[in-house]
Structure formats: C-alpha cells, structure tokens
Amino acid sequence: MTDSFVPTLLDRATHAYRRAGRFAYHFARGKLGGDPIFRHLLQHGLLPSDARVLDLGCGQAVFASWLLAARKLYDAGHWPHDWAVPPRIAHLRGVELMPLDVARAHRALGDDHPQVEIVRGDIREVDFGQVDAVTILDVLHYLGYDEQEDVLRRVRDALPRGGRLITRVGDADGGWRFRVGNAVDLCVTFVRGHRLPTMYCRPLRDWTALLERLGFSVRAVPMSHGKPFANVMLVAQLPA
C-alpha cells in the first residue's frame, strides 16, 4: 500500500494550498513530494503524539499540513501497516519571519484547525514557551553563529526532560554535495521572493558537539536521499 498511499497523502496535504495561489500550491507539492524528510518523520514515528510542537522557521507551514493530513487519513483507516501511527497534534505553533509565507499558511490552513497557530516572528526573539517537541528544518544556517547557539539553548530550556528537537543542517565538511545544496537553497530562497541571505554553516561534528554541550544526545541521519546534497537530520534528545 505504501507506494499508492504517498500520492494520496501528498494530495490531502497540499489541496488546501490551492486557496493560497498557484505558487503556494506548487511549492507545497514540490517540497512535500520531493523532500524525503517529511515521509521519514512519519514512517519512523519521530514526533510524539498528543504533543505541543514548535516548528521554528516554518515557511508556509507545509509540515503542519502534512501532519494534519496524515492523522486524518489514519483516523479514516487509511494508513500503511508498516508506518508508525502518525502523531495527533495537541498544539502546533509555527514561527516564520516572512510575512508572505505566513499569509500563504493562513490562507491554506484557514480557521479549520484550531490546534495549529502560525505566527509571524523572528525565532531569535520570540518566546518559545513550554513545548514537547521542536522542529527546525533547514533554518539554523540563516542565523549567525552566536544566534544559533542562543536559539538552541532556548529550545533546550523550552523542552521537558526527554523532550526532542529534530533539525536538519548541511554538513559543511560535505564537499561538493554541500556546495550544491547551498546553491539550491539560495535559488529557492530567491524564487520565494527573498533577498539572498548570508549562510552560517558548520561541519556535522560541530553541530553535534554544540547540541551535546547543551545536554542533548544526538543521532545523525543522512537526509538527502536521491539528491546530491550533504543534508543531515539530527534527532536531539534530552535525558529522560
């Protein structure tokens, strides 16, 4: 069922983006359909259920839409037997800097999902509150080195014992794959209507060391399947 199921999940997760315009819709389809991390997170059950989730740098909130669609399909009895049960979202707050992305998220998700809140804000400044899980997907390298450390420290403080941070970073030691990934990142940023940012990258061992210094234990999973990038997903867990 898995092969026939993924297009169904993609359709359900992206349908609402038609309301947000052609760009938003096609971007959502390209992102959720082409990036392995979204499927991996579900397949392996990496987010806890009934959790308060904080998605930092959420863009147009395609991840929230993916999670909502997944749980709806599961509740309707349509779910691959070899995938983990998808999480039920108690509350998901997405924080995004770019007003255009926030507007696209609001138009797509509308008022249909009271448990999801997408707000405009700078993750260097907003209060993270207390949550059970945090995701920061392809965002940290837009922050300066000190800012990265500060955000990660505040993430640690926002999580309970056993709380989990899932992030994805590029491995600056990844040679040409790393450079290709960065070039694509810059192109996508430009196409989305943003100025070209400076990027603050680190080798994988430095990302890991930083998180470990903050008290997380870290598991690194290569996350560029099928693409010539040096992207790595870090599953960072606080002691129980």
3-class DSSP state for residue 131? coil
Return the range that interacts with ligand SAM (CB under 6 A); candidates 17-25, 94-102, 158-166, 206-214. 94-102
Task: Rule CB under 6 A: choose which of 42, 51, 53, 58 binds ligand SAM.
Answer: 58
Rounded to 10 deg, the angle between the 62-75 and 99-109 helix axes is 20
- For the record, the structure tokens of 118 come out as 């997408």
User: Rounded to whole angstroms, how far apart are CA atoms 64 and 28?
Assistant: 11
Q: Which of 50, 122, 173, 212 binds ligand SAM (CB under 6 A)?
A: 122
Which H, E and C letters describe 209-220, residue by residue? HHHHHCCCEEEE
Answer for which of 16, 53, 109, 139 binds ligand SAM (CB under 6 A) is 139
| 41, 101, 134, 182: residue in contact with ligand SAM (rule CB under 6 A) | 101
Beta carbon of residue 176, minimum distance to ligand SAM (angstroms, whole number):
20
Structure tokens at 67: 């999670």
Site for ligand SAM contains 10 (CB under 6 A): no
Shortest approach of ligand SAM to residue 53 CB, angstroms?
Answer: 13
Tokens representing 25?
Answer: 């819709």
* Of the candidates 90, 151, 94, the residue with the CA atom closest to the CA atom of residue 119: 94
Does position 201 interact with ligand SAM (CB under 6 A)? The reply is no
Using rule CB under 6 A, residue 181 touches ligand SAM: no
- Using DSSP, state whether 1 is helix, strand or coil: coil
59 lines the binding site for ligand SAM (CB under 6 A) = yes
Residues that bind ligand SAM (CB under 6 A): 31, 57-59, 62-63, 95-98, 101, 122-124, 137-139, 142
